[in-house]
Homo-oligomer: A and B are copies of this chain.
Amino acid sequence: MKEVKLYDTTLRDGAQGEGISYSVMDKIRIAQELDSLGIHYIEGGWPGSNPKDMEFFLAMGRKRINNSALVAFSMTRRPGISAAQDHNLKALIKSQAPVIAIVGKTWDLHVREVIRCSLKENLSMIEDTVRFLVSKGLAVFYDAEHFFDAYKANPQYSLKCIRTAEKAGASAICLCDTNGGSLPSEVAHTVRKIRPHVKAMLGIHCHNDADVAVANTLIAVEAGADMVQGTINGYGERCGNADLVPIIANLKIKMGIDCISDEKLKELVKVSHFVSEVSNMKQRSDQPYTGVSAFAHKGGMHINAVMKNPRAYEHANPELVGNHRRILVSELGGRTGIMLRAKAMELDLGKDDPKTKKILKLIQALEHKGYHFEAAEASFELLMKKALKKYGRFFELEGFRVVIEKLSDKKITSEAIIKLSVKGAKEHTAAEGDGPVNALDNALRKALKDFYPTLSKMHLSDFKVRVLDEKAGTAARVRVLIQSQDEDETWNTIGVSENLIEASWQALVDSIEYKLLKDGAGK
């Protein structure tokens, strides 16, 4: 079986993505996760360019790494000085990384117009830099920047650049589509032309500016590349880098190419979500293989067919990457979807039951208002139980008031006062919080805690606000999603209103009622 080495650059190229900024601790956590996944090379940063990256390498030197080799990145020496004089190259040695990636020019346009030296001096820069680092006992990978554009513009010179690097001792040559504009057939053509000239490992590094980075990477592997570079979730400057997540899945599942173990492949969903969380980026729900929608079925006909044979509308078994099938509740999913959900809740509901029809109508009306039960399955369960009369109220709200106050430029304060009746008693209490929703949450729990002690075991783990009609500005309708968890489970609830506090209140109440129902507190 053909094997391909995986080279992750989330911590360097990924960090260039708009909206991403890693702390040293973030970088360490991601590196450990990549190591555990079995990524062969982890590019950790550019120690010469900023102190944070140097700190990362020095900290990693004290950690145990099991599967990966750490790579430090820099560029060829500056024109007109020796390699030993270049502070960037000194920083590489200081970083103690065992592998060094050196990016250098291969496109004559860049040599002339950007670094502004002679084509010959650029070749010397490549040769000196690689030779210097190899002489220090380091493995050196040469990143041929803009290679595909370079090869189109001046094939002789671009080839000369990579040959120079290999002759000077580089153990890998990586062809970079830096501007991300090459199309698959060009990539196939160029890699096939270059492969016979390179004895070292041949890498491919694609950017997604033409929306074909994953395809270009796979095609380069078919054409002879044996190392693929990319980032988790495709993070990176402009339109991002090639996304290693579907690349790994495609290599393993579709192309029969070895890169990580089958067991580790099952952690792909987890790793993808972990990196998006640490990167503080929203997880793309439509991400191939690992997105929450990747194996979600909404159309009624598709749902029926998948029940007969999953291959009917699934290109791969979701469990191979740690994902799972989802049947969505929506107007298009129709009665089959509702029936299947009811079955999962152990509620007795037939497809032709008039109650099924009634629930479907209710859902359609609520979705029309902006509710979105696909993302709030706990609220959906409550709605079903209410419709089937399997639910009794846990408390009655008499009223609440939230007061937010700011004096001059002092810190703002938020206070909630709540009055409710619970199990025949009247509760009237108040609490402060960081913001109105938090104050309301605190006051509600305070009022209920003596009656429902298990509430102390749950907490809110996520709070999302989505503006529905953004055109209306601050008067827009908002959808609030709250995620809650206890020791056993995580659940999601929803609220929709023109008023953020009203929407939050609905989601808060659903969250607490879901917890009480599942604990059997109503009985």
Residues of A within 8 A of B (CB): 15-19, 21, 109-110, 113-114, 178-181, 183-185, 208-212, 214-216, 218-219, 222, 234, 237-240, 243, 246-247, 249-250, 254-255, 277, 280, 285-289, 291, 293-299, 302, 304-305, 308-309, 311-316, 328, 330-332, 367-368, 372, 374-375, 396-409, 411-412, 414, 433-438, 441, 459-465, 467-468, 470-471, 473-476, 478, 482-484, 497-502, 504-505, 508
Contacts and interface: CB of A to CB of B under 8 A. Distances in A.
A510 to B, nearest CB: 14
A313 B178 contact: yes
Contact of A437 (B181, B216, B468, B500): B500
A239 B316 contact: no
11 contacts: A17-B286, A109-B309, A185-B219, A211-B247, A237-B297, A237-B302, A406-B505, A435-B497, A436-B501, A462-B473, A473-B482
Greatest chain B CB density within 10 A among A110, A315, A411 is at: A315
A305 B375 CA distance: 44
The 6 closest A-B pairs by CB, nearest first: A181-B315, A460-B473, A215-B215, A211-B246, A465-B465, A434-B498
A299 B210 CA distance: 20
| Secondary structure call for the A interface | mixed
A294 to B, nearest CB: 6
B184 A218 contact: yes
B460 A16 contact: no
B401 A403 contact: yes
A313 to B, nearest CB: 6
Contacts of A114: 304-305, 308-309, 312
B179 A315 contact: yes
A312 B435 contact: no
Contacts of A250: 183, 210-212
A249 B239 CA distance: 14
A314 B179 contact: yes
